[in-house]
Homo-oligomer: A and B are copies of this chain.
């Protein structure tokens, strides 16, 4: 990386700007950075014939648990309409990255799985470069960023009135059933049908990966 950060506050201890001698407004800068990073991340994802929405859907489908891998789940998670997601999903299917199979439990829903091709695509996820960059930072900074960004997102989700974590909040309850489940026990999502999650489900469960807030 050749971009040497002339006057960055790498040690994060300084709290006044060497340029102006003025104490910077962290909050404003975070807002600015989030905004710009979002734009760049977006741009980053016009790769391999996919668009950002498709990448995001693919990522979600890759790590959501079995009962969350439906068009509706994607829609909830991405905060988009079902119609829009239907197109996104169709696009991914047309590219051979996912496969739709109708559920036998509820004939309205269709379960989605990544194909081998899809797995291969995920391995080339462009946002992975963010991972590597962050991976190069010290662990403490990374941890604090996770914490701060996570809280920021929870607040924003509330602000926007979107479901805290889409279908994943339900997933969370499954893992901790003693927390109580408001819906009837026949809720088809998230393994709350009583059917125990088998295989890697507990690991790949969406709630842990996608956030840690439970409504």
Copies of this chain, complex-wide, total: 2
Pairwise interchain contact B130-A152, C-beta atoms closer than 8 A: yes
Interface residues of A in 50-108 (CB under 8 A from B): 56, 59, 78-79
Contacts A38-B42, A44-B156, A146-B26 hold; do A151 and B128 have CB atoms under 8 A apart?
no
* Partner pick for A43 among B1, B3, B160, CB 8 A cutoff: B160
Pairwise interchain contact A20-B151, C-beta atoms closer than 8 A: no
Contacts A15-B139, A43-B160 hold; do A134 and B212 have CB atoms under 8 A apart?
no
13 new A-B contacts at CB < 8 Å, known A8-B212, A32-B127: A3-B157, A3-B158, A5-B154, A6-B213, A8-B151, A9-B212, A19-B212, A24-B208, A29-B209, A31-B130, A31-B134, A33-B149, A35-B59
Residues of A at the B interface (CB closer than 8 Å) are 1-10, 12, 15, 17, 19-20, 22, 24-44, 56, 59, 78-79, 127-135, 137, 139-160, 162, 164, 172, 175-176, 202-203, 207-210, 212-215
